[in-house]
Amino acid sequence: MARRYPKNQHLGPTVNKTGYFTHPDCRLHEMGAGHPECPERLDAIDEHLQATGLRDSLDRREADPAPLADIELAHGRMHVAALRGLRAAGAALAATDAVMAGELDNAFCAVRPPGHHACRDTAMGFCFFNNVAIAAKYALERHGLQRVAIVDFDVHHGNGTEDIVAGDERILMASFYQHPFYPVGGARSNAPNLVNVPVPARTRGMDVREIVEMMWIPRLEAHRPELIFISAGFDAHRSDDLGQMGLVEQDFVWITSRIMDVARQHANGRIVSCLEGGYNLGALARSAEAHIRVLAGR
Ligand SMILES: [Zn+2]
C-alpha cells in the first residue's frame, strides 16, 4: 500500500539495515538568535556520528517533503496552512515506508523542528507538525497496520501526541516526563491507550528503568505493536539545562534495548525513531550516538 519510497540515495552497495534520515532543509528553520532549538543540533549529531565511525554503518537517506494529505492524518486543515516542518514529517514517513518494505530494520530521523508538542490544530513549543503522530497514523491508514506504539522518552510531556492519539485504541502511547514542568496546564487525558508516567525533577536513570520495566513493557507486550515509533528526546540527560532529570547515555542505551526487545518479539524488529528534544550539544550528540548504536547493533 505504500506509494512513496525513498529515492535511492545509498552511498554505494549497502548492507546497512539502520536508516539515517535527514535533509539539509532541516537546518533552514530558525527559531531566533540564541534559541536552544537551533540548526547546530543536527550538526552536532552528524559530526559526532562521523567522528565515531558510526555514520558509515548507517543507510543515509534524504526525505521528500511530506504530502499535505498525509499531514492531515494527524492535523486539522487550518494548521496545515503553516508549512514549516514538511521535511521532518517527510523523513518519518519515508522511514516508515522503508521499514515496512523491509529495506531497513529500523531508522533514526535526525530532523527538526521537533514534533511532540504539536497538537492537532495548533503548533506549540518548538513544534509545528507532530512527526511521530503523523507517521503512526500513516502506518495505520496507508500501510494497513492494526496496532502501533509510540514511546516517548523526552523530558517534556508529549502533549501534542497525546492530543492526537488519545482514544485511538490502535495506538499505544508510553511515556515518562518531568512533572510539574512545561507544558503547563491543559487537561491530561485518561484515555486507556496512554501510559503516561509523570516523574519529579532529579529523577535518575535507575528509577526510570524501573518505570519502563514495570509500567511500559507489560503494556507494550499486551498491545503487540506491529511497528514502534520513538519520540527520541535527549533532554532528560543530566547535562541538559532545559530539563532537570538525571539520565545518562547508558540509560538511553538500556531503554532503546528494551524497546528493541519488544519490537523483535512483535514487530519484526521494526522501529522508526525521530529526534525530539536535546539541547546540550555534546550530550545530545553522545546520547543520539548511543541510541543509534543500539538500533544498528554496533
Ligand atoms: Zn523536550
Residues 288 and 250 sit within 8 Å (Cβ to Cβ)? no
> Concatenated DSSP letters for 144-198?
--S-EEEEE-SSS--HHHHHHHTT-TTEEEEEEEESS-SSP-SPPP--TTEEEEE
N- to C-terminal Cα separation, the chain: 32
Q: How many angstroms separate the alpha carbon of residue 8 from the centre of ligand 1?
A: 32
Asked if 274 contacts 107 with a C-beta cutoff of 8 angstroms, the reply is no
- The residue from 23, 116, 117, 156 that is catalytic is 117
Q: What is the mean pLDDT of the chain?
A: 92
Confidence of residue 263 (pLDDT cuts 50, 70, 90): very high
Taking 60 as the threshold, does the pLDDT of residue 297 lie above it?
Answer: yes
Condensed to tens digits (0 to 9), the pLDDT of residues 205-233 reads 999 999 999 999 999 999 999 999 999 99
CA 13-24-120 angle, to 5 degrees, is 110
Q: What pLDDT sits at residue 21?
A: 97
Can you give the pLDDT at residue 1? 43
Q: Which of 10-14, 165-169, 183-187, 190-194 has the lowest mean pLDDT?
A: 10-14
Calculate what percentage of the chain has a pLDDT beyond 70: 91
Cell 532528560 -> residue: 236
CB 187 within 8 A of CB 228: no
CB-based contacts of 52, cutoff 8 Å, min separation 6: 289
Q: Give the integer Cα–Cα distance in Å for 43 and 296.
A: 20
Give the orientation angle of helix 40-51 with respect to helix 281-296, to 10 degrees: 50
Task: Measure 179 CA to ligand 1 centroid, in angstroms.
Answer: 12
Query: Does the pLDDT at position 247 exceed 70?
Result: yes
pLDDT band, residue 102 (cuts 50/70/90): very high
CA of 128 to the centre of ligand 1 (A): 14
**Distance, CA 168 to ligand 1 centroid (Å)?**
24
* Cα distance between residue 90 and residue 296, in whole Å: 22
Task: Return the pLDDT at 90.
Answer: 96
In the chain, the percentage of residues whose pLDDT exceeds 90 is: 82
Q: How far is the CA of 251 from the CAs of 11, 128, 205, 246, in angstroms?
A: 32, 28, 6, 10
For 24-71, how does the pLDDT look when each residue is reduced to its tens digit (9 = 90+)? Answer: 999 988 888 999 999 999 999 999 999 999 999 999 999 899 998 999
Q: What is the mean pLDDT of residues 144-153?
A: 98
Q: How confident is the model at residue 11 (pLDDT cuts 50, 70, 90)?
A: very low
| CA distance readout (Å), 268 to 79, 99, 227, 298 | 35, 10, 8, 19
Tell me how far the alpha carbon of residue 69 is from its chain's centroid. Answer: 21
**pTM for this prediction:** 0.93
Active site residue 117: yes
Residue 98 C-alpha to ligand 1 middle, in angstroms?
Answer: 27
Confidence of residue 2 (pLDDT cuts 50, 70, 90): very low
Question: Would you say residue 296 has pLDDT above 60?
Answer: yes
What's the CA-to-centroid distance between 14 and ligand 1, angstroms? 34
Q: How far is the CA of 3 from the centre of ligand 1 (A)?
A: 32
Task: Give 184's pLDDT tier (boundaries 50, 70, 90).
Answer: confident
Alpha-carbon span 19 to 21, nearest angstrom: 6
According to the model, what pLDDT value does residue 30 have? Answer: 87
131-141 helix and 86-100 helix, angle to the nearest 10 degrees: 40
